[in-house]
Structure 1
Amino acid sequence: MALCAALGAPNAAPAARTLFAPCGANGLQCATVNVPLDRSGATPGTVSLHVEELPAPGIPRGVLFLIAGGPGQASAGAFTLGANALDLRSEYPGYTLIAFDPRGTGRSGLLRCPELQADPFAALTRVQALVAKCGTEIGASRDFYSTRDHADDIDAVRRALGVDKIALEGTSYGTQLSVAYALTYPSHVERLILDSVADPAGRDPFALDDLQQMPKGLASLCSGGLCRAATSNFVGELVKLANRMAAHPVAGKVAKQSGGTRTVRATGFDFLGGAVLDSDLNAGLAAELPAAVHAALRGRTRPLLRLVQLDRQTAITSAEDLSMGLFTATVCDDGPFPWAPETPLGQRPGLLAGARSALPKGSTGPFGIWATDLGPAPFCLRWPPQARRPGIGSGPLPNVPVLVFAGERDLRTPATNAAAIAARFPQGRLVTVPGVGHSVLGTDFTGCAQTAVSIWLSGGVPPSRCPRSPMLVNPIGAFPASFATLKPGRTGGVRGRTLAAVAKTVREAAASWAFSLTGFTQVQAIAGPYGGTIRASGTSFVLKGYSTVAGVRISGSLRLYRPEARSPLPARFVGSVRVDGTKAAHGRLAVGASTLSGRLGGRRVHAPA
């Protein structure tokens, strides 16, 4: 496999094209591009970038770089060009597609910080200690993983390909990097697709824009009355609960998949920076959060603590999937912070406190000053000092076609970011997608966003707003205080309450199914709120003693309901279950799309599902 060495000078003349070798299905080719660790030349060493190329069949149109997020995701691993060739070639006709692992990720000199990788939801003081340890583990090379370094690497790969201009598609941090490249190398940009836009200047040190815009994103979850069965004021209740938990952390028992219980403790920081933030990607969290918040405010914290624990479990990823070492090295290099890069560690706490105290009233939106801990400044407080280095270029931005996507439910890269970036480009076009959170192109079930890309690539005008995308699973209704508080309906008595409990359990199990599919790492089995397990497999799941209402357990198999005339989303499930438990009327039920029927306590029953 050919190596392209010494591609370090930002304005070097185009080099001869690097030779690629076949390395996968559908014509996938790979190469290694060697780049300097330090482009100033002061620190010796190189980084070998793993580059994958999917050539375009037919009439060539250009070269498109696919840039993953994080920072820390390996783009070659995330996009798997060979396996996804059919879809990708259909979406981007005529484009040769390039995905390479940024320095410090995947097969490009992966950075590993094992303890930080294994404990991303530790208390802030422990995270700060792990960040300091991560800097020591990486060593002196930690100074060379900034967004500017990544942008220079993109240009090195461009030159290794022997092309003058490239198109870029970025998602999340990939948008920050794509715009950074456009500011630094404007003459080499053909067009941009930006999905879920991060500020090219870096995150606010205290996450102020996220905190201010979060209520809008949360309100979008409940648009059209979707949360009315759980709460009439989701945003107000969530804000109240988060601020309360910041002052008085909550702790309680949650069921374990293996049986028994464990104690889970959560602060406002844990809640807001974990389960709440991740609800813009995890469909199960989004479906359960309104009901769990409502219950927690009334002293029933078990459903909420279960979500916090499940989110923690699924947030632990391998370094190969998302390197926390690279994430930390890039974020803590980029800033901006209330201190200079070279500021000694001992001076930083005072500067951090001073910057916090100087924040104007309302800077943190409806949350207390505690919420500023969600920002990168507290996270990077103990990152080792380093010399100042050049940042990204100052532009001007190129006058090229730019398509920008914003999900209205996005909490980590608010829709206002997308609007601001679109406005900075003379040919910028913004497409807003209601009902969608982070990573629009991958989660818009209407297909409108992908159609907008096709229209735009063919020279047409894409829509500025898409229809609301259905959720994978709609928000569930309120968690009952107890079996006795359930309404028995027309059936009456214990049988009626059992039917109501089964209906709630099936809906909540559907949300747990969604959780298992859309977490950062997929899980095969999840414990129910009051015990038992759900095991998901594709579009079906198996329940074993699964309990959402204390004293009622259900076991059985359910599969996705697929109506003939319309979309199966939001998902509903059909099948059959056995019902038992200390409070329940025992028996068997058929679960239909809209009804429950069968025998409970020796009598036939029928009720809405």
Structure 2
Amino acid sequence: MRRSIVAVVVALAATAAGLFTTATASADPLDHFRHQSLTWHSCDDPRLDPAGAQCAEVTVPVDYSAPRAETMSVAISRLPATDPAKRRGVMLSNPGGPGVPGLDFTLDIRTGMSAEVRDRYDLIGMDPRGVGRSTPVNCRWQDGFGMESAGLDAVGFAESVAQQAELAALCATNEGPRLRHITTRNTARDMDVVRAVLGEDRISYFGTSYGTYLGAVFTQMFPERGDRFVLDSAVDPERYGSVGMLRAMGPANEAAFDRWADWAGAHDAEFGFGTDRFAVRSTVQDMVRRANDQPIRIGEFTVDEHSLPLVLYRGLDDPRNYPLLGRQIRQLADAADGVEVRPEPELAATLGFMLTAQPRDYSPAMAVLCADVEVPRDPAWYRRSIEASRADQPLFGAFANNITPCAFWAPPVEPPTVIGNALPSLIVQSTGDTRTTYAGAQVMHRALTGSRMVTLEDVAVHWIYGNYPNTCVEATVDTYLLEGTLPDADPICHDDSAGR
């Protein structure tokens, strides 16, 4: 009798064990990540702490196809809604790049918001995987940042090929297989884990530049989880990647340079580049040729034909920077003439970033771009594109068409996301954007069939809401975030910055 009872108990135990094993095996392996507890703490940040923000770390899988394997940390910040009684939910955000830290981006967004919008949302900043205080990518680059002009001839192009191959090799050596999982799709998956950990059914979102692509990818992968999405200075989803996006920048920056040259010509008494755009262009193009023959020594930096066009590129994305760019080019011109020049802080910071990988290298950005989209690998393909661009793009063609480390990268583990859905969203775009072109934003608008696009006309600015004050843009965005209603048509806004 006792043996029969024992046999029944053993059989029941075995059955229960089998049921437990089956249940465990069938459970969503991401549940562990979605139900983790957060420990909020001081951000130890001079901007965030005085604003009342708190920070936390979210654990996510390195590889979502193997969630029980290696993990990494994603850092987030939170600025609470200013009126808890009116709180609608959370708004995640991304400042672009890719590869740009985003914990304090919430403070920038907030400057454009009305008080009523600030009442409604917890603003969530995020350092994407591989970036900043999240588990970082660090390829240990000592010089270069993955993008440069190819120069003026075959010798300069060969130098670029060698430089970009070396940067890619450093990433493969220092980061290894983990690099293949530093992708936009995985960052979107991280965002959904953050959503779940915060206890939200849906998220709102504000992204600018690359952040618009990330937001569009999120809506494609998690359509049921999106609430109110604002995409400011939108990426062309059909040209996303280190080749397509860069090539689109060439003509846009040549046009922006002409606008700056008009301005510089009107200020010839201050800068001495010439009295009209043609004289200014001639002066600057001659500087590039001179830098090819004799690199410019300024302070601790050496500026050559590979890096000089990038100083221009970095200064043309906002008309408010025109005087700053004029001073920087004047300093470089003086240094080229043999004058001992100490670069002003902004120029020193630009050159430090481009030439010495300080204060941080750009490898996290290249990790994302290269892991997202495969590019041509034959250097001759890039050389042909460069030469074909020189006539129409004398300053920027050799930059916009040049080879990058992606040509030497391991192939992506997933295909790029095809963007195409009818979820409501609001796109904000200036017609003269030098980084994400107006034509590219129109492609995003057509792909997101439920979107509306508000256009800021005749301004060459990249990133508007929270950065470039405009009453029309701010009112349109605030209305959408408050009421959830999109405009009946695509609004056209005009620059009113002179009156503010």
Distance 2:265 2:388 in 1: 27
Choose between structure 1 and 2: higher strand proportion.
Answer: 1
2:90 aligns with one of 43, 63, 84 = 63
Partner of 2:64: 39
2:441 aligns with one of 381, 405, 418 = 418
Given the alignment of the two structures, is residue 331 of structure 1 paired with residue 369 of structure 2, yes or no? yes
Which digits, 9 at most, give the CA deviation of each residue in 1:215-266, with x for residues without a partner?
333344467x67434345437853784488369715376664xxxxx78442
Question: TM-score w.r.t. structure 1 length?
Answer: 0.60
Partner of 1:367: 393
Give 1:530-569 correspondences, 5 Å limit.
none
- CA gap of 1:253–1:64, structure 2 versus 1, over 3 A, is closer
- Residue identity opposite 2:90 in structure 1: V
Partner of 1:314: 350
Partner of 2:294: 251
CA contact (8 A) 1:73 1:321 kept: no
CA contact (8 A) 1:70 1:322 kept: no
Given the alignment of the two structures, is residue 431 of structure 1 paired with residue 431 of structure 2, yes or no? no
Offset at 1:277? 0.6
Distance 2:131 2:473 in 1: 29
Distance 1:163 1:76 in 2: 19
Which digits, 9 at most, give the CA deviation of each residue in 1:171-208, with x for residues without a partner?
12211211122222223222221222223352351622
Given the alignment of the two structures, is residue 211 of structure 1 paired with residue 254 of structure 2, yes or no? no
Give 1:505-516 correspondences, 5 Å limit.
none
Given the alignment of the two structures, is residue 149 of structure 1 paired with residue 186 of structure 2, yes or no? yes
Unaligned segments of structure 2, at least 5 residues: 1-26, 43-48, 149-158, 269-273
Choose between structure 1 and 2: higher helix proportion.
Answer: 2
Distance 1:25 1:310 in 2: 25
Distance 1:218 1:92 in 2: 37
- Residue identity opposite 2:369 in structure 1: V
| SS of corresponding position for 1:150 | helix
Distance 2:430 2:390 in 1: 22
The answer to which structure, 1 or 2, has the higher relative contact order (CA under 8 A, 6+ apart) is 2
Unaligned segments of structure 1, at least 5 residues: 1-7, 257-261, 339-347, 471-565, 568-609
- Residue identity opposite 2:430 in structure 1: A
Question: TM-score w.r.t. structure 2 length?
Answer: 0.72
Partner of 1:200: 237
Distance 1:263 1:27 in 2: 39
Given the alignment of the two structures, is residue 98 of structure 1 paired with residue 124 of structure 2, yes or no? yes
CA contact (8 A) 2:455 2:491 kept: yes
- Residue identity opposite 1:467 in structure 2: D
- Residue identity opposite 1:69 in structure 2: G
Offset at 1:416? 2.4
Offset at 1:59? 1.6
- Residue identity opposite 2:106 in structure 1: F
Percent of pairs with identical residues:
20
Which digits, 9 at most, give the CA deviation of each residue in 1:358-385, with x for residues without a partner?
x5996567125993444574333333x3
2:311 aligns with one of 275, 294, 315 = 275
| SS of corresponding position for 1:114 | coil
CA contact (8 A) 1:29 1:54 kept: yes
Distance 1:118 1:153 in 2: 29
Which digits, 9 at most, give the CA deviation of each residue in 1:294-316, with x for residues without a partner?
9999997579x987996354353
Q: Give aligned pairs, total.
A: 442
Distance 2:387 2:166 in 1: 30
Distance 1:157 1:44 in 2: 19
Partner of 2:172: 135
Given the alignment of the two structures, is residue 176 of structure 1 paired with residue 201 of structure 2, yes or no? no
- Residue identity opposite 1:249 in structure 2: N
| SS of corresponding position for 1:314 | helix
